[in-house]
Structure 1
Amino acid sequence: MSGGFIEIEAEGGERFRAYKAVPRSGGGPAIILLPEIFGINAHIRDVAEFYAEEGYVVLAPDVFWRVERDVELGYEGAEREKALDLLSRFDIDQGVRDIGSTVAAARALPEVTGPDGRKAVGVVGFCLGGRLAYLSAARLEVDAAVGYYGGGIDKLLDEAGGVSCPLTLHFGATDRISPPETIERIRAAFAGRPDVEVFAYPEAGHAFNRPGPHFNKPAALMAHSRSIAVFRKAMGPRYDLSALWDKHCEYEFGTRDVDATMSTMVAEPYVNHIPTMTGGYGYQQLHHFYLKHFVHGNPGDTKLIPISRTVGADRVVDEMLFCFTHDREIDWMIPGIPPTGKYVEIPLIAIINFRGDKLYNEHIYWDQASVLVQIGVLKPDGLPVAGVETARKLVDPALPSNALMARWTEPGGTDHG
């Protein structure tokens, strides 16, 4: 995907530019991306490409064009001062009308689609753009709106009644521009509105989604997942993530085809097996890992037995039993341990994150101590670890609990059943 600038016609026939990014599929619902006070700089263009990867046609308008055209600024020194000066001269009401022109331009694009044959358009904005996203939800006909750390929304709550679409607002819990009492006022203004959500992220400040000193990755990840859920529900596109994950597993464990496995993933994916920190980051490293250490390296009797599956807007969580005979060195799971011939059954959790219809990352968790006990290289005596019992109790919860707790059997400690 590679975006570029297009021209949009404003009221009165004047024209201003907007950065346009299109998904790999060639079309999808539209998202109007509203920038911070620094204009359509490299970060905002990256965000546009990010949402295009999620399946959206993105337009990022030059909101400052009536003050100064083609603004692209950095975050420090003179450029920051210039951004603040531009903000002081910015007419926010006229800015919302220009966003309305951008919404109309998006609905005129042949690439823009939506559910039920209509052309769906949502809005997402950051900082100044977050305030503009809120006002767009109140004043314009959009399908959904998301605002990140939009300062000044609390002074515009008289327009809350005009919000007629799903709205999600993200704030850092330590944001000095929107402190906790401000966030609570905003939340209270929408009490009784289940389609309006206001989130505050612990230890995150202003601009927590922007790379740099303010960046807070946990907050950014959670906020993006929630934003995608809002847009998917209101506008689509809707993907069968469960089927996509099943196909990926078929290539990994069934046909054992590395290139087919990689074809189910984004251009630069990553996999992390949490207990052993094995996997790969980026296409080349992950392809090498799959080819040399995973797809062809698993025992022939490897089985994945599903226990439960939860499917969200952008991820699948699989609970399963992972079963195999340790007939070879499995260096992604038990590196450095020669084959023991032991049969192993362990509970395993896979959390799979998607971007659009492609896998972006996998976080895989299991109890490494249980594996080591079952292959005989860790003696459980005196240690709070268990072997195959962890897998058997997952399937049969009536099996004994608390066997590792010596005090559990003390008289009068509890009703043992």
Structure 2
Amino acid sequence: MMLSIFFRLEYWCAEDVLETYWLSRKHRPRRDNKMDDFIEIAASHGQGFTGYIALPGHDRAPGLVLLHDIFGIDDHTKQMARRYAEEGYVVVVPDLYWRLSPRASFSRHGADLERAHEFERRLDLEHAVDDINATFEALREHPAQDGKVGALGFGLGGSLAVLAAARTDVDCAVGYGGASLEGSLSDARYLRCPFVLHLAGRVASANDVLVRGKIRAAFEYRPGVTVHEYECGESFTVPGPEFDRTAASLSYSRSLSLLKKTMGPVYAIERVWKRHSYHKYVTRDAEAVMDTMVADPYFNDVPTMTGGIGKESLKRFYIEQFMYSFPPDAQHVPVSFTVGVDRIVDEFVFSCTHTCEMQWMLPGVEPTGKYFEVAMVAVICFRGDKIDNLHVYWDQATVLAQLGLLDPRGLPVVGVESARKVLDISRASDSLMPRMSGPDDKPD
């Protein structure tokens, strides 16, 4: 039975415990529906400016000051603020250009590009640090904020994140930048909090190599500082010509790791995954499954590229091609289970007799009636307390060979031995490389 094979019942009798967790004192649902707006921030000498604020789905959350790049508080910056709010932060983006022109923002293309660079040149960094400090104070006074406050910036904002980490009492900071960080080298020695630097920029000349080396050397040996490098353009996190999805995703997780470690919040993502799996495999309740996911999730079975993008498409995939396509003898043997800051990696061995259509795994293949075993890895990524996406990997050639759909003779392909080696490491290795075999490769 799928119930006894895939899950233990004790995981699921705790449904009320899960609900209690979300409704705990630290995570009360917000009573208002307004999740983003502008707030007033008091500046020095009786002046004031505004900041864009994005709120999480609950009160009593840590604070995050998001420092915009040279384009001001544009739609992309607002989107990033809302994304971090989904992670559980009260996010405020201060209008750092207010002394030049309140709420100025520029297009990332065309004639506006030069105007954006002009505002960057005209920005007084000392005043900007004062305004960031004022934003910290406003954030700490906000009724939804509770606990520590961090800073995160891109481009111009990345350089200002360095200044904030060196000159204010912020609890942690993250900076994205490239060659422009050369002007922040003198402040690197004064960093007062945990700091992550994402150093981007393709190296195009000997001078670029020298600049990057100077920046790296100034930051990476400081206590509490971690430097990550990316061989891509400085705008690799922004959709456009320089966008690099892999680097953007990796840097996002690294940023989140520092924020969560320093400030929280820590969600019970393992419980969410178990709840998701329970409804997917046991109750087969598609609505309950989708309730554990963000509004725009996706699923990808990597070898077959089956799955869905978006809530409706994924829900249809689960109902029509996934939840009812497991043979009665399907088994799931856990191998390892790793819980990270924003993802879970679940390694297991899946086995069954191919007695029904399995469109998610073997699209277009009629039941063969043959038994197979395969090692699989699922990577489950979270956004806050919801599942954002899932990727599942397995060796399709191993499956096809066991079903008689692929002749492994003369090919570097094995059959059931592949999965059984995962469960029993004493089994012989290098069976496809006879000349490599030896005493250490033979089973007892």
Same fold, TM exceeding 0.5? Answer: yes
Q: 1:171, CA displacement in angstroms?
A: 1.8
Q: Counterpart in 2 of 1:197? A: 226
Q: Does 1:400 align with 2:428?
A: yes
Structure 1: where are the runs of 5+ without partners? 114-118
Q: 1:397, CA displacement in angstroms?
A: 1.1
Gap change, CA 1:103 and 1:151, over 3 Å in 2 = farther
Query: Structure 2: how far apart are the matches of 1:152 and 1:175?
Result: 14
Percent identity of the aligned residues? 45
Q: Does 1:10 align with 2:43?
A: yes
Counterpart contact for 2:427–2:441, Cα < 8 Å? no
Query: Structure 1: how far apart are the matches of 2:48 and 2:243?
Result: 34
Q: Does 1:223 align with 2:256?
A: no
Gap change, CA 1:400 and 1:10, over 3 Å in 2 = same
Amino acid at match of 1:251: H
Q: Does 1:32 align with 2:32?
A: no
Stretch of structure 1 that moved more, 302-311 or 45-54:
302-311
Q: Does 1:372 align with 2:400?
A: yes
Q: Counterpart in 2 of 1:62? A: 95
Q: Counterpart in 2 of 1:163? A: 191
Q: Which runs of 4+ in 1 moved over 4 A?
A: 175-178, 413-417
Q: Deviations over 1:361-388 (max 9, x none)?
A: 1110001111112222223222221111
1:19 aligned residue (34, 44, 52): 52
Query: Structure 1: how far apart are the matches of 2:406 and 2:178?
Result: 53
Structure 2: where are the runs of 5+ without partners? 1-33
Gap change, CA 1:43 and 1:176, over 3 Å in 2 = farther
| Superposition RMSD in Å | 2.0
Matches within 5 A, 1:249-398: 249-398=277-426
Matches within 5 A, 1:118-197: 119-149=147-177, 151-174=179-202, 179-197=208-226
2:121 aligned residue (88, 101, 112): 88
Query: Structure 2: how far apart are the matches of 1:192 and 1:223?
Result: 20
| 3-state DSSP of counterpart to 2:166 | helix
Query: Structure 2: how far apart are the matches of 1:321 and 1:40?
Result: 48
Stretch of structure 1 that moved more, 166-175 or 363-372:
166-175
Query: Structure 1: how far apart are the matches of 2:120 and 2:66?
Result: 18
Q: 1:179, CA displacement in angstroms?
A: 3.3
Q: Counterpart in 2 of 1:243? A: 271
Counterpart contact for 1:348–1:366, Cα < 8 Å? yes
Query: Structure 1: how far apart are the matches of 2:179 and 2:312?
Result: 42
Q: Deviations over 1:14-50 (max 9, x none)?
A: 1211111111234421111111111101110111111
Give aligned pairs, total. 408
Query: Structure 2: how far apart are the matches of 1:24 and 1:303?
Result: 38
Query: Structure 2: how far apart are the matches of 1:324 and 1:27?
Result: 47
Q: 1:248, CA displacement in angstroms?
A: 1.6
Q: Counterpart in 1 of 2:26? A: none
Query: Structure 2: how far apart are the matches of 1:415 and 1:55?
Result: 50
